[in-house]
Chain A
Amino acid sequence: KNEVEQSPQNLTAQEGEFITINCSYSVGISALHWLQQHPGGGIVSLFMLSSGKKKHGRLIATINIQEKHSSLHITASHPRDSAVYICAGFDGGATNKLIFGTGTLLAVQP
């Protein structure tokens, strides 16, 4: 069992739909990244958060450190949002290693 689990693994949505991707972790995490990876592309950091909620454009990320859960929401989804979304937590150790989630493949259809 992965220390960082995401759900769903695959998600297909229609353009304009509200999308939620969930991330749960079984280890202590001091902060968490939400990352986006397009096919053939590098990884882009969308959010880094350790508490509460952050918003950037149509993207919203929330985290509850005590409940070991984070969510990424996309409002008014668009085909260009199609990508793999990965949550990754800092383990809080001396080197603050990132523990990566299993990834969610999102396809937004026009």
Chain B
Amino acid sequence: EAGVAQSPRYKIIEKRQSVAFWCNPISGHATLYWYQQILGQGPKLLIQFQNNGVVDDSQLPKDRFSAERLKGVDSTLKIQPAKLEDSAVYLCASSLGVLAGNTIYFGEGSWLTVV
């Protein structure tokens, strides 16, 4: 079974530029998550989708971050304009659903460095 795919793996951009990350969840997984993990810290949930609807985006900095999950499958996370403090790993994860019995599967992450 293929895992959660993310791209690009690594990205270096200058501040005020824009960047987009792509995620392809495990087939059939209705729930998709984007997490931000700053070096030395635990992951922070940015946004959670159930199919193509947003169920939690309370910690998404909406002035610069946006995410969409058209057709309830793939998802993109965009940052525009980027700030130095956005340097982090952006982790995509998916699960069958929000029930506690469902395992969450993580991708390898997209490493962003803003200079």
Q: Which residues of A contact B (CB under 8 A)?
A: 30-31, 33, 35, 41-45, 48, 50, 86, 90, 92, 94-98, 100-103
Contacts and interface: CB of A to CB of B under 8 A. Distances in A.
A104 to B, nearest CB: 12
B72 interface: no
A101 B5 CA distance: 25
Contacts of B42: 86, 100-103
Most buried by B among A45, A50, A96, A100: A96
Contacts of B50: 95
Interface in B33-75: 42-43, 45, 48, 50, 55-56
Interface of B: 42-43, 45, 48, 50, 55-56, 91, 93, 98-109
A51 B48 CA distance: 26
A94 B99 CA distance: 9
27 contacts: A31-B101, A33-B104, A41-B108, A41-B109, A42-B91, A42-B106, A42-B108, A42-B109, A45-B103, A48-B101, A48-B104, A50-B100, A90-B100, A92-B100, A94-B55, A95-B48, A95-B55, A95-B56, A95-B98, A96-B100, A97-B45, A97-B48, A97-B56, A98-B43, A100-B43, A101-B42, A102-B42
